[in-house]
Structure 1
């Protein structure tokens, strides 16, 4: 949508972003629709183009633009001036053993967490995505696809709903427009929805049905009921109801980073129990007076949920500490380099 009749509000612009534009500033607001290797696809009223990326601080990975961001372009050169502050940001540690931070999406209002009513349904994976959503203060909605192929779709809905009090869960046939109509309240004008889920759960099919576009899809493998991964990049798709939908590649290795409060909210029942342990440094294993072990023994909470909590909490703490240390080193190096340059200029009499 880039016609003269469109407005910034059609692209998701609101008072939060408008308040960041200084009085008399002549920059042109545009939204990042897609990120390519060396170009950003941006759009707004009467503009739809590719531009070069821009960062103010190369050492700060969060200064890079990602899908959903808002930029101010120079009115004359169409070069980006600055990146506007985000309402929400999804990020992760990139796959592999490195510590590079990868930005997933920005300025999302609702997160559709997509799983399916078959062997792919995985509570631990759903909890990872829920922690991301809660940390970013984005509304999560679990969307269970392939409900038409399951004899017990209701069981999957109940199991998902147990993961978080008040969690919204919808079971759909991703190929049927009438079935997915239950998702339209989150797809209204100016709203941005993101999809997250593992490969093959039907995200591309769901995008096709919601948008009317035809993205490539693949069938289900017979050996494990999993689909084949088709989406290869993140991009915003226009929705008939006026909103925007952001598809994402399947994430087989989603490493949690800086989502401590999100985990605490997803596992609020466990955190509450831990406060009642006799010892403040309780490891919740064999210590006397452990409230969590007592709750497991009484059937108040499942041992499997405690195991998932411990695993995710340890992973998040490790990744966040590693990133903090790396950022500290980068800042120290930058300070040293600036000091050296200042001394060099002083010797030259500059």
Structure 2
């Protein structure tokens, strides 16, 4: 085996634990032989990244182009003149988990990329907020990854099975797993789902994501804090980072989300509300808004009791929010183009006129 083949084998063996595969190896081929190495971004801290490479963790700078995110596969340059390593390029993102920025701006906030499975974590120590779950599922579907609902703290619920049925009624086409990190219930089932997968856990603070991460990792890899006296969770994880699991999976533990804003979620909304989407095909009017039109199949389902009013209200709310974000995005793009043209015209006026 040549030294280059040995290096490639070493790279593959180490990075496979983080999701490296034959397709990624093919993507990296154009960069081979140019002093560049592949790695997976485990954490982003302002202008620096922690990148998992075949030879260990490397802290690297980044700048210009697309901002790196936890889960990205990076093309890393490590100069031999003592300069800081830096991310030269990013390989193609297969999936992107994104929500609207918490500030209310039109830009999206990328939570994780190249994720295979998105676990919407819902605690059962309180009655599940089905509207919030629908938000989480919409983000998960839109990412391109496979959604999964993880009901935690099952040992603290007197009627866990009944709560699970309530959740299954809105989590259409999505598996629901009941777990308790305290008793170990359901952890073997969840372990089977996460084996060999890159998994992102999303949910509110106090939902049990950090406890679940430690249970799946078989070690305390992230700190855990008690839920506050008012029932709200404290933020335990304050950044996103990759955690390798014994089953060959990789877990992204994300910070608790107080707000779950919609961002470009057309297909995700249709998948989450598949029951409403199916009914719209029977409406008399193609552009039916399901508010007061005659022959509306959605309103008929409400009348008959086949569709809960809460479900339709939630759909309307998320749709309105998504459209508002889209309009803000269009306005921002138009404003940016106007600024660009203004600068171009300004430069043209400064340029000397050609002599006749």
Residues 25-76 of structure 1 deviation map (CA, whole Å, 9 limit, x = unaligned): 33211111001122111112113121112232xxxxxx21110011101253
91, 101, 105: which one aligns with 2:108 = 101
Q: Quick one: distance in 2 between partners of 1:90 and 1:12?
A: 17
CA distance in 2, matches of 1:345, 1:146: 68
Q: CA 1:101/1:300 → structure 2, altered by over 3 Å: closer, same or farther?
A: same
SS class of match (1:320):
helix
- The alignment's TM-score, normalised by the length of structure 2, stands at 0.87
Indicate which of 245, 258, 269 corresponds to 1:239. Answer: 245
Q: What does residue 255 of structure 1 align with? A: 261
Q: CA deviation at 1:126?
A: 0.9
| Offset, 1:311 | 0.5
Residue 84 of structure 1 is matched in structure 2 by 91
- 1:162 is paired with a residue whose SS is helix
Match of 1:124 in 2: 131
Q: Residues of 2 paired with 1:343 and 1:187: CA distance? A: 60
Q: Corresponding residue for 2:74?
A: 71
Mapped to 1, the partners of 2:40 and 2:352 lie a distance apart of 43
Pair 1:321 & 2:330 matched: no
**SS where residue 115 of structure 2 aligns?**
coil
Q: Shift in Å at residue 303 of structure 1?
A: 0.9
Q: What is the root-mean-square deviation of aligned Cα atoms in Å?
A: 2.5
Aligned CA distance change for structure 1 residues 177 and 81 (closer, same or farther; 3 Å) = same
Gap change, CA 1:227 and 1:50, over 3 Å in 2: same
State the 1:140 CA deviation: 1.1
CA shift, 1:87, in A, is 0.4
- Which residue of structure 1 lines up, in the alignment, with residue 53 of structure 2? 44
Unaligned 5+ residue runs, structure 2? 1-9
Distance 2:21 2:175 in 1: 26
5 Å matches for 1:5-20? 6-20=13-27
* C-alpha contact (below 8 Å) 1:177/1:210 kept by paired residues: no
Sort the Cα spacing of 1:255 and 1:4 in 2 relative to 1 into closer, same or farther, 3 A. Answer: closer
* Cα displacement (A) at 1:176: 4.1
In 2, Cα distance between the equivalents of 1:8 and 1:338? 46
* 8 Å contact kept, 1:202–1:227: no
**Equivalences for 1:48-63 in 2 at 5 Å?**
48-56=57-65, 63=66
Q: 1:147/1:95 Cα in 2 relative to 1: closer, same or farther (>3 Å)? A: same
Q: Which of 211, 223, 234 pairs up with 1:216?
A: 223
Q: What SS class does the counterpart of residue 35 from structure 1 fall into?
A: strand
How far residue 4 of structure 1 moved from its aligned partner, in angstroms, is 7.7
Alignment partners' CA distance in 2, 1:341 and 1:240:
59
Larger Rg: 2
Runs of 5+ unmatched residues, structure 1 = 57-62
Question: Cα 1:339–1:187, aligned 2, differ >3 Å: closer, same or farther?
Answer: farther
1:205 counterpart = 2:211: yes
**Cross-structure match for 1:114:** 121
Cα 1:96/1:309, change in 2 over 3 Å:
same
CA gap of 1:207–1:317, structure 2 versus 1, over 3 A, is same
The size of the alignment, in residue pairs, is 339
Q: Summarize the alignment of residues 280-299 of structure 1 with structure 2, pairs less than 5 Å apart.
A: 280-299=286-305
Give the TM-score of the pair, scaled to structure 1: 0.88
Q: Are the aligned partners of 1:120 and 1:201 in contact in 2 as well (CA < 8 Å)?
A: no
Measured after TM superposition, the shift of residue 338 of structure 1 is 5.9
Matching residue within 273, 280, 283 for 1:277: 283
2: CA distance, partners of 1:20 / 1:4: 14
